[in-house]
């Protein structure tokens, strides 16, 4: 990975471990030839740099989808609220300027396409097959499930569905992402690849095998 881009990723606000980021980079680089890479939940751009760097090396494209108002746990009074992201004019979080600056600093403005909106709304307009989908948006059961239902079926055979923040033990973190991950596995449409820390990775099968009842 480009050393400058990696330094930008390391310095960027976010909740992604560098080891997880490098796995995303490898996955994007190895699957961007199958179709665009879609990221649900860009925040300030940490994961975008890893994914975008991999897509760039493969001659591919990254689509960064986020409404940029912050997920549930980033609202005032919650653990991950960051007052620096609040737009004083409207009194709401706005991570979009931070994402754009990150992409600029990493040299990814010609690789990454920024889409501002709720992922389900964007999915309703989307028709292209995808080489990879990375889900790291809202972590409520409703938000995580909706993101999977909106985008999981758009991954091409051989493509990747990656989901962040998987915690087997509820004491370590919220359970919505891992429940979505388990649902994807139970569908019979994906094979499980090795995890990297809290990053789960699934590959869509070339032919769907329904699990036995």
Catalytically active residues are 139
List the one residue out of 193, 189, 192 whose CA is nearest residue 208.
189
Task: List Cα–Cα distances, 108 to 17, 38, 103, 206, in angstroms.
Answer: 20, 15, 5, 31
Ranges of H-type helices in the chain: 3-11, 18-31, 46-57, 96-105, 119-123, 141-151, 176-186
What is the 8-class DSSP label of residue 210?
P
What are 208-212's contacts with CB under 8 Å, separation 24+? 211/186, 211/187
């Amino acid at each position: 990975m480009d050393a400058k881009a990696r330094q930008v990723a390391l310095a960027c606000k976010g909740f992604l471990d560098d080891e997880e980021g490098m796995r995303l980079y490898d996955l994007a680089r190895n699957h961007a030839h199958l179709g665009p890479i879609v990221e649900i939940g860009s925040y300030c751009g940490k994961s975008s740099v890893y994914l975008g760097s991999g897509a760039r090396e493969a001659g591919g494209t990254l689509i960064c989808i986020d409404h940029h108002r912050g997920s549930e746990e980033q609202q005032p009074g919650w653990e991950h609220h960051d007052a620096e992201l609040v737009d004083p004019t409207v009194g709401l979080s706005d991570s979009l300027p931070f994402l754009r600056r990150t992409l600029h600093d990493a040299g990814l403005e010609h690789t990454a396409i920024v889409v501002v909106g709720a992922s389900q709304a964007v999915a309703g307009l989307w028709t292209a097959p995808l080489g990879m989908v990375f889900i790291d948006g809202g972590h409520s059961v409703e938000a995580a499930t909706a993101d999977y239902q909106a985008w999981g079926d758009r991954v091409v055979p051989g493509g990747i569905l990656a989901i962040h923040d998987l915690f087997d033990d509820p004491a370590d973190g919220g359970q919505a992402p891992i429940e979505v991950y388990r649902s994807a596995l139970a569908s019979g449409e994906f094979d499980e690849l090795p995890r990297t820390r809290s990053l789960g990775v699934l590959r869509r099968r070339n032919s769907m095998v329904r699990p036995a009842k």
